[in-house]
């Protein structure tokens, strides 16, 4: 059968519209699922691989938003696709641009939920910080997202959709290979714990890395976790991206409070998983994130303990001045304190950039993300009670 043979009605299955009228989204489908979906609507078996490749290119290289843009597919086939599938992206509700160029997108996804993604331009790169969940089940005491109840995990389409929407906004589709990307890096550091949604995060990141699509190197993707040890091992094997650990304390006593998952996976166990993370080397180091909280975790003794704990792990340390939010109960360490801490870490041979707060004026900085519709903020007391109960 020639590749141009129109698909006749007798091989079509009934449109796949589900009861609630939602068509399956081709965005976020892995290649085998995409091929299956095309088979189900009656695409001749010999054409499936090629059609899937063409559609993949339209979605991830050219940024197509509608099937009728896919001009190398026959009109009939485009109509058939449109009848059976959607190309649904998160919808931009608001876009705020900070004085420093940071862009914060508030995005609406299915169910009327909202998530945030933040684009941070730098001189040598542009990083998109994306969310993996609506809210978070963990209750790190210094984190604004942690005060928002988990609503649900994001789907692969909603995760990769954040990248698509940012590329739309940056007008970054279908560029020649020599083009210097504005969106060159992804960090999974937005709302949620990516390793409580590992499968969907993995699929979305494999899509982002696919060479015939967005084609970001795995070394340009960093996943940040509070320390879900068994999943760290899977992330290394199944995603292969760079790893960041929200470390934040140098004793179990303090970490148990700041990052309550530490009660389940202690510092020693977490560091063991880090030591075993695949491909660690000087060019592929683990980032240890450390939020600087005044009089909580910021002494010189903490700095020394930190370098001792991670000794032998190819690492960099990212010091994050605490970003305040209403009712947090914490304060940012003084700059002098942060400098003294950084100095000890530097002298021990670790790069320790202090993360300049970006987009603070639009509440886009680390830990400040929280969707406007999810105002059901837990009180400090409630959080404390939950930690006690764990
Ligand atoms: N849940 C994952 C991904 C979120 S990453 C994780 O915890 O790693 C967001 C980073 O910002 C984490 O290192 C988090 O600990 C840090 N963070 C959270 N609240 C913050 C705040 N108020 N100020 C500065 N950093 C914060
Ligand atoms: Fe969740 Fe990460 Fe915030 Fe902890 S720091 S509450 S894991 S988003």
Q: What pLDDT shows up at residue 326?
A: 86
Cα–Cα distance for residue pair 131/45, rounded to 1 Å: 37
On whether residue 16 sits in a domain, the answer given is no
Structural domain of 319:
91-381
Q: What is the number of domains present in the chain?
A: 2
- Statement to judge: residues 72 and 141 lie in one domain: no
The pLDDT tens digits of the residues spanning 299-346 come to 999 999 999 999 999 999 999 999 988 889 999 999 999 999 999 999
**Cα(254) to centroid of ligand 1, in Å?**
16
Nearest to 170 by CA among 185, 181, 157: 181
Cα–Cα distance for residue pair 229/270, rounded to 1 Å: 6
Cα–Cα distance for residue pair 329/308, rounded to 1 Å: 29
The DSSP H or E segment spanning 341 is helix 335-347
**Cα(44) to centroid of ligand 2, in Å?**
47
DSSP assignment of 265-334 equals: S-HHHHHHHHHT-TT-SSSS-EEEEEEEBTTTS-SHHHHHHHHHHTTTS-EEEEEEE----TT----BPP
Cα–Cα distance for residue pair 201/190, rounded to 1 Å: 13
- Statement to judge: residues 47 and 109 lie in one domain: no
Q: What pLDDT shows up at residue 363?
A: 65
Q: Pocket residues for ligand 1 (CB within 6 Å)? A: 140, 142-144, 189, 193, 224-226, 246, 289, 291, 320, 322-323, 366-367
The CATH number linked to 58 is 1.10.150.530
Is residue 124 a contact partner of residue 185, using CB atoms and an 8 Å limit?
no
On whether residue 96 sits in a domain, the answer given is yes
On whether residue 174 sits in a domain, the answer given is yes
Atom of ligand 1 nearest to the CA of 132: 3
On whether residue 4 sits in a domain, the answer given is no
The DSSP H or E segment spanning 244 is strand 242-246
The pLDDT tens digits of the residues spanning 73-104 come to 999 999 999 999 999 999 999 999 999 999 99
- Statement to judge: residues 321 and 214 lie in one domain: yes
Kindly give, in sequence order, each residue whose CB lies less than 8 Å from that of residue 67, ignoring residues fewer than 6 positions away.
Answer: 73, 78, 79, 81, 82, 85, 87
* Ligand number, closest to the Cα atom of 325: 1
Is residue 115 a contact partner of residue 154, using CB atoms and an 8 Å limit?
yes
When pLDDT is averaged across residues 3-22 and rounded to a whole number, the result is 46
Is residue 366 flagged as an active site residue?
A: yes
Integer angstrom CA distances of residue 121 from 32, 160, 215, 310: 35, 19, 19, 30
- Statement to judge: residues 139 and 162 lie in one domain: yes
When pLDDT is averaged across residues 25-43 and rounded to a whole number, the result is 98
The pLDDT tens digits of the residues spanning 175-192 come to 998 999 999 999 999 999
The DSSP H or E segment spanning 114 is strand 113-121
Query: Three-state SS for 249?
Result: coil
pLDDT(221) > 70 = yes
Q: Is residue 12 classed exposed, middle or buried when 0-12, 13-18 and 19+ CB atoms within 10 A define those classes? A: middle
On whether residue 5 sits in a domain, the answer given is no
- Statement to judge: residues 41 and 73 lie in one domain: yes
- Statement to judge: residues 35 and 125 lie in one domain: no
| Ligand 2 pocket residue status of 146, Cβ below 6 Å | yes
The CATH number linked to 260 is 3.20.20.70
- pTM as predicted: 0.90
- Other C-beta atoms closer than 10 Å to the C-beta of 16 total 14
């Amino acid at each position: 059968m020639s590749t141009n043979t129109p698909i006749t009605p007798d091989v079509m299955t009934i449109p796949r519209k589900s009861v609630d009228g939602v068509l399956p989204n081709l965005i976020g489908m892995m290649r085998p699922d995409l091929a299956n979906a095309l088979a189900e609507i009656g695409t001749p078996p010999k054409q499936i691989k090629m059609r899937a490749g063409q559609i993949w290119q339209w979605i991830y290289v050219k940024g197509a938003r509608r099937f009728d843009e896919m001009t190398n597919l026959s009109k009939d086939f485009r109509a058939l696709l449109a009848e059976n599938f959607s190309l649904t992206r998160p919808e931009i509700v608001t876009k705020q641009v900070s004085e420093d160029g940071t862009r914060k997108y508030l995005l609406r996804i299915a169910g009327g939920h909202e998530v945030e993604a933040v684009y941070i331009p730098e001189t040598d790169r542009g990083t998109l910080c994306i969310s993996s969940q609506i809210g978070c089940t963990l209750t790190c005491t210094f984190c604004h997202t942690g005060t928002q109840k988990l609503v649900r995990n994001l789907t692969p389409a909603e995760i990769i959709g954040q990248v698509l929407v940012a590329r739309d906004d940056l007008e970054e589709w279908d560029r020649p290979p020599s083009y210097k990307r504005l969106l060159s890096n992804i960090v999974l550091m937005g709302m949620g714990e990516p390793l409580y949604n590992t499968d969907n995060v993995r699929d979305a990141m494999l899509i982002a890395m696919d060479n015939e699509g967005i084609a970001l190197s795995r070394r340009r993707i960093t996943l940040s976790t509070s320390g879900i040890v068994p999943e760290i091992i899977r992330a290394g094997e199944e995603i292969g991206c760079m790893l960041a650990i929200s470390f934040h304390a140098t004793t179990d006593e303090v970490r148990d409070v700041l990052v309550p998952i530490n009660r389940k996976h202690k510092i020693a166990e977490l560091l063991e998983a880090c030591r075993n993370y695949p491909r660690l080397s000087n060019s592929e180091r683990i980032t240890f994130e450390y939020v600087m909280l005044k009089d909580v975790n910021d002494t010189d003794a903490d700095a020394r303990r930190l370098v001792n704990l991670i000794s032998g792990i190819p690492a960099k340390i990212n010091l994050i001045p605490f970003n305040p939010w209403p009712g947090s109960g914490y304060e940012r360490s003084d700059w002098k304190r942060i400098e003294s801490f950084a100095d000890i870490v530097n002298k021990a041979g670790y790069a320790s950039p202090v993360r300049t707060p970006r987009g603070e004026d639009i509440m886009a900085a680390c830990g400040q993300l929280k969707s406007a519709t999810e105002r059901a903020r837990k009180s400090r007391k409630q959080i404390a009670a939950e930690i006690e109960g764990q």
